[in-house]
Structure 1
Amino acid sequence: MIKVFVSGYWKSNLGDDLFLKILCEKYPNVKFYVFLDRKNSRQFQRVANLTIIYNNLLFRLINKLLRKIGLLQVQDVLAPMLTDCFLEIGGSIFMQDDNWEYRLKQRAYARERYSQYFIIGSNFGPFYSQDYIEKYGDLFNKLNGISFRDSYSYNLFKVKNITRASDVIFGLRTNSYQFEYKKKQAVISVIDTSKKKTDTGSNFQDSYERKIIDIVDELTYKGYKVILMSFCDFEGDTTVVNRIYYHLNNNENVEIFEYIDDIDTAIRIISESEKVIASRFHAAVLGLMLGCQVLPIAYSGKMKNLIDDIYKEKKWMSIEEFINNGNLNDSNFVHLMRDEIEFIVSDSENQFMFFDNFIRSRNK
C-alpha cells in the first residue's frame, strides 16, 4: 500500500477538515498519516485509511524548545521514516509572516528527505517582499507537483509541474445533500477581522459585527430563519457569533451552529439554506456548489480571486464595502446554475493531477 504523510492546518476548521476528508475518500487504497492534537481529531478517528500521530504533551514541549532555537520539529524528522511521499493540502499556507523563513526551512528539508513532494489546493500570499517569492520559486521548481486554486497564484510562478484548478472542496461528494428545494433560511459565516491580515490593514470588527446584526434583523423581519455559523473556534468565530447573538434586538428565529467535528451537519445546514452570507472563504465555496444564493465578503485576496475566476465582473464586497453598503438586494448575491457547477466540479479534479500520476505510476 502506498503511504503518504499529509501536512495541513488541523485546528478543527471546517474548510481544512474537508480537505482531509476529500483526500481520504478519493484514495481509499492509500495509507495517509497526519500529525495533530487529540482535541482536533474526533472527526477523523474512524477514517480507515488514516493514521493519526497525536501531538501529545511531550511532543509539544520538545517542539516548543526546538522552534525557539531554530531547529526542525519532531514530526519533520520522524515522518520521513514512515513514508517517502509528502503532501501539503491547504488554502492559505503560503502567507508571509514573521516565521516564514522557519517554515521555508521545514519545506526545504522535506524536499530533501522525501522522494515525492506535492502541494494541493493552495493560494499564494499575501506576501510583501520579492525575496519571499523568489525563494519559494526556487523551492517549487524542485517539487513533483503544485496545484494552485486561483489564477493569481498560478501566474506568479514560471516553474515546471504547476497547474491551476478550482478549489478542492468543489470536488466534495454532494449527492446526499439538498440542492433544489431550499428553506427560507440564511447562513451567516463570520470571522474575527482582528485576527486576519485584511487587505485594508484596518480593524473593522465592531462596525462589521454591527452590520451583521442589522442584516440578521432584516432577515428575521422578512421571515427567514438565521443560522450564525462558526467555522473555526480556534480563530475566534465562536466568540464572534456569541457576541452578535447577545446583541441582537430579536433572537427568536436565530440559532448558532458551532463546527467542532460534525462535518455532515455543517454541510447539510448550508445545503438547505436559500442564502449564504459568507465571510469565510469556504462558506462561499460550499454555498455556490450547493446552489445557494451567496453574498461573498472578501477580507483578503483569496475570496476576490475565487469569484474573479468565475465571473468577469466584480461580484464580491470588501469588508469596508459590506459595512458601508451591504444589503440584501439580489444584485449583491451570486448564484451558479447546475451546468456551471458541474463545470467547476470537473475542473477541481485537476487539483489532483500530479498526485494521480504518481499513484498510477506506483500501481503499475
Structure 2
Amino acid sequence: MRQVEVNLQTYPATNLGDDLFAFILSQRYTNTFHVSRLTHKSSFSGVPNVIPSRSAVGELLFKILNRLLPRWKDHFRAKTIRQQDIFAVAGGSIFMYQNNLDFWERERDFYLGLNRPVYVLGCNITDEGPEAFKSAIREIARSCVDVTVRDEATLEFFDRAPNVRLLPDLVFALEMDEFQTDRIEGSALISVVDGYRFGEEIGNSYFQGLSEMVKQLLAENRNVTLMSFCSKEGDETGIEHLLDASGLVPCDQLSVYCYDGDIAEALRTIGAADLVIGSRFHANILGLLSGAAVLPLSYSSKTPRALRMAGIECPVTPLQECGLGVLTEDHQARLTSSEIASLRNRAEEHFLALDAVLERR
C-alpha cells in the first residue's frame, strides 16, 4: 500500500525554531515530506524523508509569479500541493496581518479551494488587523481537519472550535537526549535579535541592557556564547550591535555561534549552557528542555502567552527592560526531569490527528 505523502509548509528562511518543526515531524514519521522553498537550505540535506516540493527552476517561477501575478502564483502553489495527499502547515506566528488584507483574502480562497486535508500545527495569532482579516483567518481554521494552537488567546480567537486544540509549543515534543552534551558549569548562552527592528528607542535600551548583562557574566568568570537563530531576520546584525555597544570582542571567554542549518550542532551548543537568556522564543524552550536555567526576554506577546500556557512561572522581560536588574534567579525558570517529561507528553498531542494517517517510526 502506498504511503501517504505530505506537502509541508514551513518558514522559508534558515531559522532554528521553524526548522525544528519540520525536523520533529521528519523524525516522528517515515512518510515523505515535500517542503516548498527548500532548495537553498542545508537544514535537511541529510534527512532522507524531507525533500523539495519544487525544483530550483520551479522556485524561480514561483517568485516571479508571486511578484507579478499573485493569483497565478496561488494556482501554481495549489497544483504543487495537490501532488501530495495532505497539506500540513508547521505553525508558529503564521497568521500575521502585516497590512495586507488582499493577501489574506486570497489565502482564504486558496485554503477553501485546495481540496486536500489540511493540518495546522502549533500556531498563534497576533492581535493586529481589521475584522475582515480576522474573519478570513477563522474561515481558514474552519476548513482544516485539525488546528493546534499554543496560547489561550489564539484558542479564544478561534471561538474554541471543536477542531482547534490548545497545547504547549510543538518544540516541547523534541527529544533532546541525543543532543545533550556535558553542561559547562556556569556557562551562559544568549540568543540575540536585532532590537532595532522594533524601533530605535527599544534597540538602544535592549543593547545597552544586554551589554551590561554580558559584562557582569564575564566578570563572574562565566563563558558566554552569543547565538544567532536566523541571519535573515537580523540576529547576526544584532550580535554586531551588541558587541559595538559593549566594546567587547570575541575571545576564549566570549564566543559567537550563528545557526547555519546544522540543527544537531545548534542543539548541542544550547545543551551545553547552564543559563540561557532567550530573546528568541525557542531559545527559551530549548533551554528548558535541556535542563538549563532560562531567563526569558520578549519582543511580542507570543513569549509570555506561550510560556504561561506551558505552566512556566517566571517573569518575561520586554527587550527594552533587560539589564542587571533582571539578572537574578527570581527572573529565571528551570524544569525538573519529570516536568520536562510531562510537557513533552502533552506536546506530543499535536500529532494526534496526523498519527491517524501517517506512519510512526
Normalised by the length of structure 2, the TM-score is 0.90
- Aligned residue number for residue 180 of structure 2: 178
Counterpart pick for 1:166 among 160, 165, 168 = 168
- Aligned residue number for residue 246 of structure 2: 248
Once the 2 structures are TM-superposed, how far is the Cα of residue 239 of structure 1 from its aligned partner? 1.2
Asked if 1:224 corresponds to 2:226, the answer is no
CA contact (8 A) 1:307 1:315 kept: no
- Aligned residue number for residue 358 of structure 2: 359
CA contact (8 A) 1:37 1:55 kept: no
SS state of the match for residue 71, structure 1?
Answer: helix
CA contact (8 A) 1:3 1:84 kept: yes
Q: CA RMSD in A?
A: 2.4
- Aligned residue number for residue 10 of structure 2: 8
CA contact (8 A) 2:37 2:59 kept: no
What aligned pairs does 1:308-319 form with structure 2 within 5 A after superposition? 308-311=308-311, 315-319=315-319
Task: Give structure 2 stretches of 5+ with no counterpart.
Answer: none
Check 1:352–1:215 CA distance in 2 against 1; reply closer, same or farther (3 A cut).
Answer: same
What aligned pairs does 1:341-360 form with structure 2 within 5 A after superposition? 341-359=340-358
CA contact (8 A) 1:76 1:110 kept: no
CA contact (8 A) 1:3 1:31 kept: yes
d(CA) in 2 for partners of 1:62, 1:359? 29
Once the 2 structures are TM-superposed, how far is the Cα of residue 55 of structure 1 from its aligned partner? 6.1
- Aligned residue number for residue 22 of structure 1: 24
d(CA) in 1 for partners of 2:24, 2:169? 12
How many pairs are equivalent?
354
- Aligned residue number for residue 105 of structure 1: 106
CA contact (8 A) 1:35 1:55 kept: no
- Aligned residue number for residue 232 of structure 2: 234
- Aligned residue number for residue 327 of structure 2: 328
Kindly provide the CA deviation profile for residues 235-285 of structure 1, in whole angstroms up to 9, marking residues without a partner as x. Answer: 000111123234434443110000011111111111111101100000010
Once the 2 structures are TM-superposed, how far is the Cα of residue 65 of structure 1 from its aligned partner? 4.1
d(CA) in 2 for partners of 1:85, 1:138? 19
d(CA) in 2 for partners of 1:195, 1:318? 14
SS state of the match for residue 179, structure 2?
Answer: coil
- Aligned residue number for residue 188 of structure 1: 190
- Aligned residue number for residue 303 of structure 1: 303
Once the 2 structures are TM-superposed, how far is the Cα of residue 51 of structure 1 from its aligned partner? 1.9
Once the 2 structures are TM-superposed, how far is the Cα of residue 183 of structure 1 from its aligned partner? 2.8
Letter in 2 for 1:345: R
Task: Give structure 1 stretches of 5+ with no counterpart.
Answer: none
Asked if 1:263 corresponds to 2:255, the answer is no
Once the 2 structures are TM-superposed, how far is the Cα of residue 308 of structure 1 from its aligned partner? 1.6
Once the 2 structures are TM-superposed, how far is the Cα of residue 320 of structure 1 from its aligned partner? 2.9
SS state of the match for residue 234, structure 1?
Answer: coil
Give identity over the alignment, percent.
Answer: 26
d(CA) in 2 for partners of 1:348, 1:76? 30
Once the 2 structures are TM-superposed, how far is the Cα of residue 103 of structure 1 from its aligned partner? 3.9
CA contact (8 A) 1:86 1:114 kept: no
Once the 2 structures are TM-superposed, how far is the Cα of residue 37 of structure 1 from its aligned partner? 4.8
CA contact (8 A) 1:6 1:34 kept: yes
